[in-house]
Amino acid sequence: MNFRRPLAEIRCQSCLSPVCLEKCEPDNTVRKLFFWKLKQREIRLGERTVIMGVLNVTPDSFSDGGKYSDPDRAYARAIELEEQGADIIDIGAESTRPGSARISAAEEIRRLIPVLKRLKDKLTIPISVDTYKSEVAERALELGAEIINDPSCLTFEPQLARTVAQYNAGLVLNHMRGTPETWAKLGPIADPIGTIARDLEATISRARHLGVEKTRMVIDPGLGFGKRKEDNSVILARLGQLNGLELPIMVGPSRKSFLAHPDPEETKFASAGAVTAAVLAGAHIVRVHDVREMRAATDVVDEILRCRTE
């Protein structure tokens, strides 16, 4: 699909706004089925929502900083997330919260490796590692991780794709605008979903050039990653327009600042609302902190989607 046609020539027939695809998917579109190839297995995507459970082993995460920085507590939490219904565990050792500073590969490895060593062969579900650094990715893949979730969409270290290809791992391409240090200064995006689609198309091409098979990729529009509150709402509303990229879609709305309430319980409910909207719009995977609660929500949404096919 060519996203470089003039946007003025391409308009959504339901909202008459410019879009980046030749046609929008109808509202009752059923998620396309994909087989996501990982290092040691395949995951069938599209029949039901896959839950990626977040495990931060950082001291400064925006939502649970320091809570699981101890390897033993991180290990226990990973086991708990699997028991609660997670299909994938996503481990992050460097915060990408707004305003956060970058850390060295050595420090990220120091935080990450003890947890991966404890978890090796202890889970029945695959481990993903949230990193943009090739050196960190290589160590993680050596210790059993099967997915690299790149928060920078190959903009920080493009050679990360080559490392992923060497290990036949899965790769999540998370769209990022700017850097965490500059997000507060960025204005709204004139055409959020069109911009994201074009950027992702270019990144997919770059990853394939570096040896990553398309069957190993998943795309993520990157809610909150350099987007304003109003941008995030547009992205969720028009998520289906990314279907033209012919890849599974992951969305991570969980506890993002545009959903935040003073009461954490209310934030959890807001996250469930955003998760529901994402799945109804075509998301194959949702990345969440509260696995048990979001599993309950996605089970309902999956049943609704099944009814669309009857």
Report pLDDT for 60.
Answer: 52
Which of the four pLDDT bands, split at 50, 70 and 90, describes residue 182? confident
Which pTM was predicted?
0.86
The 10s digit of each residue's pLDDT in 233-248 is: 999 999 999 999 999 9
Domain range summary for the chain, segments of one domain joined by +: 32-308
pLDDT score of 157 more than 60: yes
Q: State mean pLDDT over 191-195.
A: 95
Report pLDDT for 9.
Answer: 33
The 10s digit of each residue's pLDDT in 162-178 is: 999 999 999 999 999 98
Catalytic positions, please?
A: 256, 287
pLDDT score of 2 more than 90: no
Superfamily for the 32-308 domain: Dihydropteroate synthase-like (3.20.20.20)
% of the chain beyond a pLDDT of 90: 71
Higher pLDDT, 193 or 23: 193
- Radius of gyration, alpha carbons of the chain: 18
